[in-house]
Amino acid sequence: MLYHFQQKTSAEFYKEVLWTTSGDGLIQNSKSLNLAYLRGPEDLSNGSVELTCMVIGYLQGQEASDAMILYIDSLPMSFAGNDTTICSNHSIQLHGVAENYSEINWYSGGSGDFDDPSAINAVYTPGLTDTTTGSVELYLQAISAHCEDTATSSFILTFDPCFGVNELSGTKHEISIFPNPNNGIFELLINGDSGSESEISILSVEGKILFTQKIDPFIKQFSKSFDLHLLKKGTYYIRIHGQEYIKTIPVLIN
């Protein structure tokens, strides 16, 4: 909100000055032409206040006054939304919230497009950079109707490759990748028995298979070392597909 107001006033042939207010604010220099006014809660609730300047001349009965209306605007507010995850090939309808604004504007830290960046419920379609990186930050800016103030908020939109395969969760296998994040060199460990052949795949965020390997049945434990340091930094996925289970784990190479 507008807390402090200064006003330069002009007058001639006067001896004294007196400022008064119709509200509950504080006049910090009521006997000076150059007004400094601190608005009160009642002023804010009303949205305006009348300030009157009276000047008194050198002879008895000589006085003049003039008044002005000071309108008090509230600061804009914006809430872009909570962090959200969608499939990489999907668009998302946004549900922003804004108050005390004359216009709003959506913008992105990535390469996607808004169907209408001035609409509070715009639709965002991710770009290639967004999905390759694995996430993008979306911003909602609210611009004040009368003042120069703006309010900006943001949220992180994360992309899941959504390969179209339902994962089976009833497995007794414990699957881990360490370290994660890593520099491209890491270890895959599967604890449990496998009575049938399994398959390990490495996929990009777009769902492209970069590597696949069949593994024979094993007892108690299976481990494999990976060296992917030649791949670009970013998010990849390790998918383990067995007869009794399917598990996809994200791997961050930095």
> Within 13 Å of residue 19, how many CA atoms lie on the same side as its CB?
25
Q: Number of structural domains, the chain?
A: 3
Query: Looking at the structure, do residues 84 and 148 belong to the same domain, yes or no?
Result: yes
Q: Are residues 185 and 121 in the same domain?
A: no
Same domain, 179 and 224: yes
Task: Place 6 in a pLDDT band, splitting at 50, 70 and 90.
Answer: low
Section 66-72 average pLDDT = 87
| pLDDT tens per residue across span 21-46 | 999 999 988 888 888 888 888 988 88
Q: Is residue 168 part of a domain?
A: no
In a domain, 118, yes or no: yes
pLDDT in tens, 143-187: 987 777 899 999 999 887 765 444 545 556 788 889 988 999 999
Strand intervals (E) in 84-231: 84-87, 92-93, 97-99, 103-108, 113-114, 123-125, 135-143, 150-160, 174-178, 185-191, 198-203, 209-215, 221-227
| pLDDT value of position 129 | 86
For residues 183 and 231, membership in a common domain is answered with yes
- As a whole number, the mean pLDDT across the chain is 85
The last residue of a domain, from among 16, 40, 71: 71
> Do 90 and 140 share a structural domain?
yes
pLDDT at 57: 86
201 part of a folded domain: yes
| Beta carbons of 36 and 29 less than 8 angstroms apart | yes
**For residue 8, what pLDDT is reported?**
65
Chosen domain end from 42, 71, 100: 71
Band (2; pLDDT cuts 50, 70, 90): very low
Q: Are 124 and 106 in contact (CB under 8 A)?
A: yes
169 lies in a domain?
A: no
Domain assignment of residue 165, yes or no: no
Domain with 206, as residue range(s), is 174-253
Check if the beta carbon of residue 200 is closer than 8 Å to that of residue 190: no
Considering the domain architecture, whether residues 83 and 63 belong to the same structural domain is answered as: no
Which residue, among 2, 46, 52, has the nearest Cα to 27 in the 3D structure?
Answer: 52
Q: The whole model's pTM is what?
A: 0.51
Share of the chain above pLDDT 70, in %: 91
CATH number for position 215: 2.60.40.3080
Share of the chain above pLDDT 90, in %: 29
Q: Residue 194 in contact with residue 242, Cβ under 8 Å?
A: yes
Using DSSP bridges, classify how beta strands 135-143 and 103-108 pair: parallel, antiparallel or unpaired. Answer: antiparallel
Sign of the dihedral defined by the CA atoms of residues 75, 102, 107, 97, in that order: positive
What pLDDT is stored for residue 5 in this prediction? 57
- End residue of a domain, out of 36, 71, 106: 71
Is 34 found in the same domain as 55?
yes
Q: How far apart (Å, rounded) are the C-alpha atoms in residues 22 and 48?
A: 10
* Per-residue pLDDT band at 204 (split at 50, 70, 90): confident
What's the mean pLDDT in 64-78?
87
Q: Say whether pLDDT at 133 is over 60.
A: yes
Max intra-chain CA distance, the chain = 111
- 48 and 90, same structural domain? no
Tell whether 155 is covered by a domain.
yes
